[in-house]
Structure 1
Amino acid sequence: MKLIMDMSVQRSVVAQLSARPQVVEAGPFVLGWDPASPSKYINYATPVPGAAITPADVAALVAAFREIDRIPRLEYVVNIAPDLEGQLLAAGFTVEARHEYLVCTPDTFADVPDPDGVEVTEPDTDADYWGMITAQAAAFGDAFEVGPADIDRSRRTKERGGVVRMARSRPDGLIVGGGQASPPSEGVAEVAGIAVTEPFRRRGIAGAITAAITREAFARGVEGAWLEASGDDSWRVYERVGFVPTGKRLYLALD
């Protein structure tokens, strides 16, 4: 079961990258990138499950990144390419992070209601998207500068069948957080970008956002929702919604 989920998650990552505005198929890798953003967290590559990979393939991938003026970077499920890390390290890549991913199914899902004074809802207007993404950026330590391309990217997620939700405080209408799930692929969807601004944390808002997104993904036929937790606090939030540690993912870059 674990190997099946590893393969499903990795294939879903391939599908997500293949839906980027620009896609480069570099041998056994898929490189998805967005000309509107220089962010290495948006422009990265992943291996195709089951493909044989050689050092020459890695060199060709690095050249493909250089051709589009982006930092060579990969994200992938470890078990689907267990020998790849050694090849990447030999080529000069360094490990950014090793994360466990967690999976929630309809059987493990535990709903979380909206906290008092907060409404979790779908963004509609550009102002909604701008407020949500600005809140996410602030929650992540202003890791990126919000621009029109971010709104377009979030709208594309929704238009392609993904789930986007924001949290709005009442009665002032301030947008205090948000998150999204990728369009379904291989029966799974990635839940990502769950964020709540500092003054509104520890009120159950992150759990309510996660639950609302996951609930809607299941309503659309998704069999498994997966995500990664960045720390103990978020880990507890996700486990409360029904996410269970399942596998490992690896991030490497050639800065």
Structure 2
Amino acid sequence: MRTDVQRFAVANLLRRPEAAEVGGFVVGFDPATTSPYINYATPVPGAEPADRDVSALIEAFRERGLKPRLEFAPDAAPAVEHALLRAGFTTEAVHEYMVCTPATLVAPAGHTVVETPVTDEDYTAIDAALSEAFDGEFPPSPESAARLRRTQEGGGAVRFVRASDGGCAGAAICSAPADGTAELAGVGTRPAHRGRGIAAAVTAALAATAFDRGTRSVWLEYSGEGSRRVYERIGFRPTGTRLYMSLEA
């Protein structure tokens, strides 16, 4: 399953508007944004990069004025971390990820209504709600709302719970599948609506949608013990870790 997640990471980056293979790495760039969370690289499973490969990777970022940055499951490419450390990369974070399959998925308790966005107003409301849920780390913008629509219309899925004012109380996003798995991300609830089962509802709805389309597994990362318990209740199980590394200027 660890290799499945890393193979997904490779296939997903290859879907970026500008993607390239550099040595044992795949680099994905989106010219519409300079965000390091969208423009990054990942190694192919089993990669054993030489120093010259890492130098070429760094140059691919530098020539675009971007910070060299990688996200990957280290167990799928054990030699990569040491090669990056030799080149001066440092660790940003290590996150545990969880995996759900059709056999483990459990419908959450309650009757929360989960919707699929349709209008531009829906996507704008979801974008704003997720920005608020993550304390403004990802500012809302027409470009990020458009990316949500592209996800929904490009084989992935976006689901949300509507607030009483007609906006968005909480939402989440699932990528289009690759190599039989899909990533569920951006699970967020506006502070005023927390504690009502919204995160569990949208997460379970997205996983069920992916499985209905033939996906074998769905994976996500969690941010704390509270969210871990939410995901465990609906069938996600801890499986491995993902490593985030970058090189400062």
TM-score, length basis structure 1: 0.94
Matched, 1:164 2:158: yes
Structure 1 stretches of at least 4 aligned residues deviating more than 2 Å after TM superposition: none
Match of 2:208 among 211, 215, 224: 215
Once residues 216 and 188 of structure 1 are traced to their aligned partners in structure 2, the CA distance between those partners, rounded to angstroms, is: 12
Q: CA deviation at 1:114?
A: 5.4
Match of 2:104 among 77, 102, 108: 108
Once residues 253 and 201 of structure 1 are traced to their aligned partners in structure 2, the CA distance between those partners, rounded to angstroms, is: 33
Matched, 1:126 2:135: no
Quote the residue 2:235 is aligned against.
242
CA contact (8 A) 1:123 1:165 kept: yes
Once residues 177 and 25 of structure 1 are traced to their aligned partners in structure 2, the CA distance between those partners, rounded to angstroms, is: 36
SS at structure 1 position matched to 2:245: strand
Q: How many residues align?
A: 248
Q: CA deviation at 1:167?
A: 1.3
1:73-92 equivalence runs, <5 A: 73-92=69-88
Matched, 1:58 2:51: no
SS at structure 2 position matched to 1:216: helix
Once residues 110 and 137 of structure 2 are traced to their aligned partners in structure 1, the CA distance between those partners, rounded to angstroms, is: 27
Question: Could you say what the CA RMSD is over the residues aligned between the two structures, in angstroms?
Answer: 1.3
Q: Which runs of 5+ in 1 are unaligned?
A: none
Quote the residue 2:175 is aligned against.
182
- Alignment deviations for residues 69-99 of structure 1 (CA, whole Å, 9 cap, x no partner): 1111000011111121111112111111111
SS at structure 2 position matched to 1:189: strand
Once residues 18 and 149 of structure 2 are traced to their aligned partners in structure 1, the CA distance between those partners, rounded to angstroms, is: 17
Once residues 234 and 182 of structure 2 are traced to their aligned partners in structure 1, the CA distance between those partners, rounded to angstroms, is: 16
Once residues 223 and 84 of structure 1 are traced to their aligned partners in structure 2, the CA distance between those partners, rounded to angstroms, is: 27
Q: Which runs of 5+ in 2 are unaligned?
A: none
Quote the residue 2:141 is aligned against.
147
TM-score, length basis structure 2: 0.96
CA contact (8 A) 1:102 1:227 kept: yes
Once residues 196 and 117 of structure 2 are traced to their aligned partners in structure 1, the CA distance between those partners, rounded to angstroms, is: 21
Identity %: 50
Q: CA deviation at 1:152?
A: 2.1
Q: CA deviation at 1:160?
A: 2.0
CA contact (8 A) 1:137 1:143 kept: yes
SS at structure 1 position matched to 2:13: helix
Once residues 23 and 154 of structure 2 are traced to their aligned partners in structure 1, the CA distance between those partners, rounded to angstroms, is: 27
Change (3 A) 1:221 1:143: same
CA contact (8 A) 1:160 1:183 kept: yes
- Alignment deviations for residues 229-251 of structure 1 (CA, whole Å, 9 cap, x no partner): 11111111111110001111100
